[in-house]
A = this chain, B = another copy of it.
Amino acid sequence: MTADERDIPAGTTAGGPGQADANAFSAPRRAPLYQQTYALITRGLQHGEWQPGDMIPSEQQLAGRFSVSAGTVRKAIDRLVAEHLLVRRQGKGTFVASHLEQRSRFRFLRMRDRKDRIPEFQSRVLTCRKTRAKAEVAQFLGLAAGAGLVHVRRLLEFDGTPTVLDDLWLPASHFRDLSLDQLKQWRGPLYGLFESAFGVQMIEACERVRAVRADATVAGLLAVSRGSPVLRVDRVTETFDGEKVEFRRGYYLTDDYHYLSRLA
């Protein structure tokens, strides 16, 4: 983008502030400027104009580029910050959120210990294989049955004991080159790897939680007897525009840990 381009048709004139549109014809309900500004910044994030960890232009600069006031830019950024897409740092600037940063490391982890603290845990990746989507997984990902996927299985040990078994299915369209070696070498959150190595930013997720009996596989890997009650958590993760880029099924032991949910 060049500095002088105007992404938003100037809705104000020199006549004064707050003058939205001087047209005599009633325009077809234009969205408020701060929402348009929100959309433009989001598009910049989506198109990779600013990468995770990058600083975006200052509020003044964006105001100039979009031909709106600083307050309007600020309101747009407020929302993006609330949605964890941006992070403000006073005196420094506004930055694109990254799963590699400490502050967002446990954003999607709901498990807590008896005192509601995040447990210490270790991840052991067991397998990584190319597969094709069965009907159920395909439906969760909004793909056709048979679509190419990468399947990852890993075990999380909480404070030393195996507690979570995760199965991940990732669209081959984005994750074709993901390998077991790569996963085993990686230190840190998977979403950090996906972000840095595959350019996929996990923005939001939705989890459906059930209580089920452990089958032979789950029971074996979690070291409990078959039929034991375990929490089954189905997660669908999306990137920009609601594009589904992960389906994850987790089996959680909840004797010493629990799934925490805040209602407001």
How would you classify the secondary structure of chain A's contact residues: helix, strand, loop or mixed? strand
**B-contact 0/1 string along A162-182, CB 8 Å cutoff:** 000000000000000000000
> How far apart sit A229 and B230, CA to CA, in the bound complex (Å)?
8
> How far apart sit A262 and B108, CA to CA, in the bound complex (Å)?
10
B229→A259 contact, CB < 8 A: no
**B-contact 0/1 string along A93-104, CB 8 Å cutoff:** 000000000000
A231→B258 contact, CB < 8 A: no
A260→B208 contact, CB < 8 A: yes
> What size tier do the contact residues of chain A reach?
20 to 34
Closest B residue by C-beta to A207: B261
CB distance from A194 to the nearest CB of B (A): 15
> How far apart sit A46 and B260, CA to CA, in the bound complex (Å)?
27
- Give how many copies assemble into the complex: 2
Known: A83-B264, A263-B108, A264-B83. A229 touches B204 (CB 8 A): no
Closest B residue by C-beta to A204: B264
B205→A254 contact, CB < 8 A: no
B259→A210 contact, CB < 8 A: yes
**B-contact 0/1 string along A195-209, CB 8 Å cutoff:** 000000000111111
A209→B258 contact, CB < 8 A: yes
Closest B residue by C-beta to A229: B229
| Cβ-neighbour of A264 out of B84, B229, B259 (below 8 A) | B84
Q: Verify if A221 is at the interface (C-beta below 8 Å from B).
A: no
**Residue among A84, A107, A232 with most chain B CB within 10 A:** A232
> How far apart sit A252 and B116, CA to CA, in the bound complex (Å)?
22
A211→B212 contact, CB < 8 A: yes
Residues of A within 8 A of B (CB): 83-84, 107-108, 110, 112, 116, 204-213, 227, 229-232, 234-235, 252, 254-255, 258-264
5 contacts between A and B (CB under 8 A): A83-B264, A207-B263, A209-B260, A212-B229, A229-B230
